[in-house]
Amino acid sequence: MNDTEIRALLADVLAGIAPEADLATVGDDEDLRAALDLDSMDFMNLVIGLHQRTGIDIPEADVPKLFTLRGLTGYLAR
d(CA 32, CA 58) in angstroms, rounded, equals 17
The region, left, alpha or beta by phi > 0 then psi within -120 to 50, assigned to residue 56 is beta
Number of residues that bind other proteins (CB under 8 A): 21
The region of 1-9, 11-19, 47-55, 70-78 touching other proteins under the rule CB under 8 A is 11-19
Residue 26 CB contacts under 8 Å (≥ 6 apart), including other chains:
32, 35, 36, 69
**38 belongs to the binding site for other proteins (CB under 8 A):** yes
Of residues 39-68, those binding other proteins (CB under 8 A): 39-42, 44-45, 60-61, 63-64, 67
The region of 5-13, 29-37, 50-58, 68-76 touching other proteins under the rule CB under 8 A is 29-37
Would you tell me how many other CB atoms lie within 10 Å of the CB of residue 69?
A: 21
The footprint of other proteins (CB under 8 A) covers 15-16, 18-20, 31, 33-34, 37-42, 44-45, 60-61, 63-64, 67
